[in-house]
Amino acid sequence: DIQMTQSPSALSTSVGDRVTITCRASQSIDSWLAWYQQKPGKAPKLLIYMASNLQSGVPSRFSGSGSGTEFTLTISSLEPDDFATYYCQQYHILWTFGQGTKVEIK
């Protein structure tokens, strides 16, 4: 089974800050990685697919990078609507989510 580990588990930050979340896979997954945003009481929303491709309608302040076993999600300038929990997911072999990163207001 492929395990996905996100860091940090939570971070406190401010509007306008640059935010970087890391996701590591237990083995190479090439670029078969997605990022999702979830707000309380809502379903997840796809942000990034194939590690670096922005889903239609997602603001350009979100970006993804990486390949193999290490990946990052970057929010270039945090906006109030971005406070949420973010999950990575591999889909190289079956599907596995990371444990999530909660982005909170400082």
Partner 1 sequence: EVRLVESGGGLVQPGGSLRLSCSASGFTFSTFWMHWVRQAPGKGLEWLSRINSDGTNQRYVDSVKGRFAISRDNAKNTLHLQMNSLRAEDTAIYYCARDDNGAHDHWGQGTLVTVSS
Closest approach of partner 1 to the CB of residue 31, in Å: 10
Cβ atoms of 101 and 11 within 8 Å: the answer is yes
Closest approach of partner 1 to the CB of residue 7, in Å: 14
- CA 57 to the chain's CA centroid: 16
Closest approach of partner 1 to the CB of residue 84, in Å: 13
- Given CA atoms 106, 23, 77, 81 in this order, what sign does their dihedral have? negative
- The binding site for partner 1 (CB under 8 A) comprises 1, 32, 34, 36, 38, 43-46, 49-50, 55, 87, 89, 91, 94-100
- CA 85 to the chain's CA centroid: 9
Task: CB nearer to partner 1: give 19 or 51.
Answer: 51
Backbone angles phi, psi at 80, to 5 degrees: -55, -30
Task: CB nearer to partner 1: give 38 or 69.
Answer: 38
